[in-house]
Amino acid sequence: MSAKKILLGEKDIPTAWYNIVADMQNKPLPPLNPQTKEPLKPEDLEPIFAKELIHQELSQERWIEIPEEVRELYKIWRPTPLVRATGLEKALDTPAHIYFKNESVSPVGSHKLNSALPQAFYNKKQGIKRLTTETGAGQWGAALSFACSVFGLGLEVYMVKVSYNQKPYRRIMMQTWGAGVISSPSTLTEAGRKILAKDPNNSGSLGIAISEAVEKAAADPDARYTLGSVLNHVILHQTIIGLESEKQMEIAGEYPDIVIGCFGGGSNFSGIAFPFLRHKLAAGKDIRIIAAEPASCPKLSRGKFEYDYGDTVGLTPLLPMYTLGHDFQPADIHAGGLRYHGAGTIVSQLHKDGYVEPVDIPQLESFEAGQLFANSEGIIPAPESTHAIAVAIKEALKAKEEGKQKNILFSLSGHGLIDMASYDQYLSGNMKNYQLTDEEIAKTVDSLEKIIK
């Protein structure tokens, strides 16, 4: 009988995060100062981010040590299990071996805590008193709330209004951990007031909430801003997922042919994929890396590679990325998360160089995959994670058709126990696919300033 779960001990928690930039032939283009359009200087970022995080953001060192305090806190739930999805394999009757890295076992229910803890740690170490951030469905806000409570930092979370009103449970989690949660757009910031003056019923977006949180942090010398995805330092922290998986696959005696992650801004995808992609970059290993996007927000497969802002108002540095444009908002009927308009700069460069395969998943297919997974493995996956499951299923069925044994590894980025309203919508038959047209994408992409020659 082969093992169902491959477990590591606390002593196996990695001692360093992996920075893939060190192994990239084409380094990512530099971020630009939004005023001067010149490459950003580290000092430009100091009012907004902790110094150590800026250092990591721009670093080209291959390995960056994980502070002892952070490794100690990782022990609360890490190392996470690597699970052989034998139930799913059986349901699909596939010769493929399917493995998933179960990041849903964290206290907040997702991978986000992997970066929330180090971000809070470095800010605390620098003497910062308060953090600000944004959150969509509340996963990042919840993770940072717990991290700030551990380190005794204050926290203000700008939560996208539609989620604030429709998804109260993560707001209550954040408040339980002591954070202040504000519905965005709000009247507390210039950015929020500007949006509300134009459109009093604006239901909010991640881009708007980022503008508000950045503005608040920049105005307070004792406060800094934090982001839960997209940026290089966030992706760096998430490589702990792939580094543990690497050891666990070795114990299983197998090597993945395909590594899959769902894709919002790219942190859990990069986290599981980069330590394996390293073998391809450094040793020519044959491996496919697939990013599972929602068809309603397909930045990698249908976006444009160009400099764009991380927020709606244009306060953040200009980042070179695959983007749908900073004004892009996915259709309201989209229930599966992963709503951010752009992809992190490292993944964007890797995609441009042909190392990443994006796949778009319509939402009915993603929830169908989620339900099959729930019934075969017991875990109800986060709506975001169902996109990765849908791709794993596609690849497992392809392996069956071709009569080939393939090893498939995906990141189960979170559980869906606080997202049951989306499942309700799916189960009641009220969910529809959304056909995003080229014209809609052009509306927000064509207005981007052309900076990349």
Ligand X SMILES: *Cc1c(COP(=O)(O)O)cnc(C)c1O
Which stretches of the chain bind ligand X, using CB under 6 A?
110, 112, 139-140, 229, 262-269, 338, 382, 384-385, 413-414
Q: Would you state the structure tokens that stand for residue 258, as one six-digit string?
A: 């395909």
- Continuous H helices in 177-231: 190-198, 206-218
The minimum distance between CB 368 and ligand X, in angstroms, equals 18
C-beta closer to ligand X: residue 156 or 293: 293
The minimum distance between CB 380 and ligand X, in angstroms, equals 12
The minimum distance between CB 375 and ligand X, in angstroms, equals 20
The minimum distance between CB 173 and ligand X, in angstroms, equals 13
C-beta closer to ligand X: residue 318 or 338: 338
On the CB side of 287, CA atoms within 13 Å amount to: 23
C-beta closer to ligand X: residue 112 or 161: 112
- Continuous H helices in 65-138: 68-74, 86-92, 113-125
How far is CA 97 from each of CA 253, 254, 403, 410, rounded to the nearest angstrom? 12, 9, 13, 11
Q: How far is CA 60 from the centre of its chain?
A: 21
Q: Would you state the structure tokens that stand for residue 3, as one six-digit string?
A: 């093992």
The minimum distance between CB 172 and ligand X, in angstroms, equals 17
The minimum distance between CB 268 and ligand X, in angstroms, equals 3
C-beta closer to ligand X: residue 248 or 366: 366
Q: Would you state the structure tokens that stand for residue 406, as one six-digit string?
A: 């393939």
C-beta closer to ligand X: residue 189 or 229: 229
- Neighbouring CB atoms inside 10 A of 443's CB total 14
Backbone angles phi, psi at 325, to 5 degrees: 95, 140
CB 17 within 8 A of CB 236: yes
Q: Distance between CA atoms of 49 and 37, rounded to whole angstroms? A: 20
C-beta closer to ligand X: residue 177 or 189: 177
C-beta closer to ligand X: residue 267 or 329: 267
The minimum distance between CB 299 and ligand X, in angstroms, equals 10
- The strand pairing partners of 280, in sequence order, are none
The minimum distance between CB 71 and ligand X, in angstroms, equals 22
The kind and range of the H/E element at 58 are: helix 51-58
* DSSP-derived pairing of the beta strands 82-84 and 63-65: unpaired
- Neighbouring CB atoms inside 10 A of 349's CB total 24
C-beta closer to ligand X: residue 71 or 112: 112
